[in-house]
Amino acid sequence: MKKEKRLRLSALQKKVRALQKQGKKVVFTNGCFDLLHVGHVRYLSAARALGDCLVVAINADASVRRLKGTARPIIPHRERMEVLAALGCVDYVVLFNANTPKRVIDTLGPDILVKGGDWALEEIVGRESVERRGGKVVRIKIVPGASTTGIIERILKQSRRR
């Protein structure tokens, strides 16, 4: 278990500030990360390669339900945080309960904000505050066919065949 990677926002803010004072580039991304798959792993690895530290903010269970429906998440947020923290490319994991990570982004002030290529630039929450501070926003190409929703649909389809 990588508990030292799972931090509350206030503690993470101190870590981020210390890294930035050392001249390190802090990369931030967020998502539900419900069923970890190859698309997530490639995305997170690519995000980490953009800087010196990767912070991943994940939606709490209630937030996932509001965004994805009552059947989600499949995996509770404590377990999703543990799985993400176990990845070598992830430096820190933080939980948020809002529908968007705006407050987390504004609090942390990352140098680079990353989202999937399926997001339009103007729809990326936190873009303006990151760019206003001189940071940049990067969209990473998604892996075709790799999605949690797609995995769930395939499982349900196969279970109906039996």
Three-state DSSP class for residue 141: coil
Tell me what the mean pLDDT of segment 36-51 comes to.
Answer: 95
Tell me what the mean pLDDT of segment 33-60 comes to.
Answer: 95
Tell me what the mean pLDDT of segment 99-118 comes to.
Answer: 96
pTM summary value: 0.91
Report the 10 Å Cβ neighbour count for 79.
11
Tell me what the mean pLDDT of segment 101-125 comes to.
Answer: 95
pLDDT at 1 over 50: no
**Higher per-residue pLDDT: 62 or 153:** 62
Instruction: From residue 97, give the alpha-carbon distance in Å to each of 24, 25, 61, 71, 125.
Output: 28, 26, 8, 17, 15
Q: Quote the pLDDT of residue 162.
A: 66
Mind listing the pLDDT tens digit for each residue in 61-106? Answer: 999 999 998 988 999 999 999 999 999 999 999 999 999 999 999 9
Place of tokens 């942390």: 108
Tell me what the mean pLDDT of segment 102-128 comes to.
Answer: 95
Q: Quote the pLDDT of residue 3.
A: 67
Compute the distance between CA of residue 99 and CA of residue 111 in angstroms, rounded to an integer.
22
Tell me what the mean pLDDT of segment 46-64 comes to.
Answer: 97
Q: Quote the pLDDT of residue 130.
A: 97
**Higher per-residue pLDDT: 81 or 145:** 81
For domain 3-161, the question of CATH label 3.40.50.620 is answered with yes
Mean per-residue pLDDT over the chain, rounded: 92
Q: What share of the chain is helix, strand, coil (3-state, %, to 5)?
A: 45, 20, 35
Q: How confident is the model at residue 2 (pLDDT cuts 50, 70, 90)?
A: low
